[in-house]
Chain A
Amino acid sequence: MLGLNKKDTGLFLFVLALIVFAPFILNPFPESSDLARFNAGYPDLMQRFVIFGIFAIGFNILFGLTGYLSFGHAAFLGVGSYAGVWMMKLLTVNIVPALIAAIVVAGIFSLVIGYICLRRSGIYFSILTLAFAQMSFALAYSVLTPITAGETGLQLSLADPRILEAANASGTIPAANFFGLEMRSGFDWAVGDWVFTFNFGYYLCAVFMLIAFYISIRIFRSPFGMMLRAVKSNQQRMGYTGLNSKPYMLAAFVISGMYAGLAGGLMVAVDPLAGADRMFWTASGEVVLMTILGGVGTLLGPVLGAGMIKYFENIFSRLNESDLNALFGFLPDFIQAPLVTVAQMFVGDGWLMTLGLMFMLIVIFLPGGLLEGVQRLGALVSRKKKTNEPSQPAAAPAE
């Protein structure tokens, strides 16, 4: 289907199903139960899942295939955001021009930065990209304040020209929309004690993630993707084989930069505000974590990693003492009290500690990321099933 082989088609349909049914999958607990606080099916978070999914998929095309670790990809996300908001200010609050501008501007920006940074490899490449991203961050706060609005962040205002739009007499800033469909529009569906939220903004972002995922599969399976893996494997040999690795690297860098730009554009499409903190180095580090956590160089890994980190960031960081007390309320007091004290260190502001621990555990025990864990589980299950059947050749690792 769509030029994918059977295995990849399965993977694509799996992601499609995840995306379509996300409002159900992420809201497994009834509203009135104590566990409802672990529900993640609200539009804001679901949008973040898919947007950061796009970011991580793109990052993985560079890092996963070529092994070049960029520590500055948040800069492209930030640039995409600024370009997006400017389009919404100047042209129209329809998000289409904003997204196109976000991708194009991030693409050009990454072409320039990539051209310079790719003169070096390994740690020097990482440091160069980091330096460029921090430079962009600093510029956005200082010299470029007229464009970036500095610390306040770039946002829409009533006085914006919006030249493609009819005169606005309502006295309010029009909402971001896709040909009239507002990004924030949607409806709730209550089934018994469950409430499922369907949001247009989420589904639009999800369609973009699906397209991004599809393109990533095609790149992985193309001769281009094979050359990128060859770069990671033995760049020297590539040279003596008659291949100039530079154009391949630069193309991968620009493609992943455009993915980041698209993610930045979608961020402002669902919430028209762009701040320089999006370019800070921690944001670049986050996408590295997502990719490693999910599984470097795998197709599905980055999506899982992005989902996981965003889930922890938004759910665990909101838990507080009373939440924990309620959760452990079924235990006798003398167990509950110390348990809550210990657990408290890992929630709220301590969510980063949870993340750090998980990251360590995964890197040590599952170097292939979450996806390796899933595969090992799968292998374990199928081995048990096969005890009575004649042994079959081990399945090739799914990507």
Chain B
Amino acid sequence: MKILTVEGVNKSFGGLKALNNVNFSVEQGAKHAIIGPNGAGKSTFLNCMIGRLAPDTGTVMFGDISLTGMKPYEINQVGVSRVFQTPEIFGDLTLLENVMIPSLAKRDGEYALHPFKRMEHDAEIRDKAMHMLEDVNLENKRDMTASSLSRGDKRRLELAMCLSQDPKLLLLDEPTAGMSRADTNKTIDLLKRIGDRGITKVVIEHDMHVVFSLADKVTVLAQGTIIAEGKPEDIKGDPRVQEAYLGGAHL
């Protein structure tokens, strides 16, 4: 069963055609990577899925729900979470609060005005948040302000925030960009672990090491068009992919 179906998506910025008639689908439970050289339109593509950008034409279907025209919070409420290229966290809040907010959003919906409810009495949310922080090994820093974390920790925190919502589809935009090799490997392990929870993942990635460790299917995007799709091993040897990446130089 397909969890995400993108059909005929076009997106232009002025004269630049960022996405050119993209058709794309993701199987339920798949670990799908989107790769491509800089400026290929990967992030634009993700932004069109999540409601940050509206595609000029085309449809994005999540199961049988059309995501086109929906607001970001509505898209999240149906079960799509996203990890950003630069970690988007609540910098002024503590780690625990950072993880409690998405759990509250999941449980209480897009808004719930409880001006008199006491946060510390909400054991369910609190325990879940603690559990999520343990999952990403940040439980000892739970009372720290999130902005004081290192970049790698911020990414792990953001991942915990997304996972605490038990999303059906998790979109990851370069989850290891700017990380040291050690941090990258830790993140890969973490992502592998959550793979067992049945969350469908779509990863945008530059780092081939990450792609081949994580994905079971790879889509290659270049100049706004999908040029190849298949198993990681097949993609590796595809001449079109090498051309797109290396500009036609011979290896």
Contacts and interface: CB of A to CB of B under 8 A. Distances in A.
Interface of A: 3, 5, 215, 218-219, 221-227, 229-230, 232-234, 236-244, 246-248, 251, 255
B203 interface: no
Nearest to A219: B115
Contacts, number: 105
Contact of A224 (B89, B93, B110, B115): B115
B91 A233 contact: yes
B114 A242 contact: no
A167 B189 CA distance: 84
A327 to B, nearest CB: 45
A237 B86 CA distance: 12
B101 A230 contact: yes
A233 B93 contact: yes
A3 B91 contact: no
24 contacts: A3-B116, A215-B115, A223-B104, A223-B112, A223-B122, A224-B114, A225-B115, A226-B97, A229-B90, A230-B93, A232-B92, A233-B91, A233-B93, A234-B88, A234-B89, A234-B91, A237-B88, A241-B76, A241-B165, A242-B77, A242-B106, A243-B101, A244-B110, A251-B115
A325 B88 CA distance: 60
Contacts of B93: 226, 229-230, 233
Interface of B: 50, 71-73, 76-77, 81-82, 84, 88-93, 97, 100-102, 104-106, 110-120, 122, 161, 165
Nearest to B165: A242
Nearest 5 pairs of A and B residues by beta carbon? A242-B76, A242-B105, A239-B72, A233-B90, A244-B110
A224 B117 CA distance: 8
Contacts of B77: 242
Which among B106, B115, B161 has the highest number of chain A CB atoms within 10 Å? B115
A241 B165 CA distance: 9
Contacts of A232: 92
B119 A222 contact: yes
A247 B100 contact: no
Given A223-B122, A226-B93, A237-B89, A244 B113 contact: no
Given A236-B88, A241-B161, A218 B76 contact: no
A240 B122 CA distance: 23
A288 B242 CA distance: 60
Contacts of B165: 241-242
B46 to A, nearest CB: 11
Most A CB within 10 A of own CB, among B76, B92, B101, B104: B101
Nearest to B88: A237
A227 B117 CA distance: 13
Given A219-B115, A223-B112, A241-B105, 11 more contacts: A225-B115, A225-B119, A226-B97, A226-B100, A233-B90, A237-B89, A240-B76, A241-B73, A241-B76, A243-B73, A243-B101
A119 to B, nearest CB: 14
B89 A247 contact: no
B182 to A, nearest CB: 27
Contacts of A3: 116, 118
A354 to B, nearest CB: 33
Contact of A242 (B92, B97, B110, B116): B110
B112 A240 contact: no
A255 B76 CA distance: 28
A255 B112 CA distance: 15
A193 B91 CA distance: 55
Nearest to A396: B143
Given A227-B101, A242-B76, A222 B88 contact: no
Contacts of A225: 115, 119
Contacts of B104: 223, 227
Contacts of B111: 227, 243-244, 246-248
A222 B90 CA distance: 17
A242 B117 contact: no
Contacts of A227: 101, 104, 111
A225 B122 CA distance: 14
A221 B165 CA distance: 23
Contacts of A230: 90, 93, 97, 101
A223 B117 contact: yes
B50 A240 contact: yes
Contacts of A219: 115-116
B172 to A, nearest CB: 13
B113 A251 contact: yes
A255 B115 contact: yes
B65 to A, nearest CB: 14
B119 A221 contact: yes
Given A226-B97, A241-B105, A221 B114 contact: no
Contacts of B105: 241-243
Contacts of A255: 115
Contact of A234 (B90, B118, B119): B90
A255 B93 CA distance: 23
A220 to B, nearest CB: 10
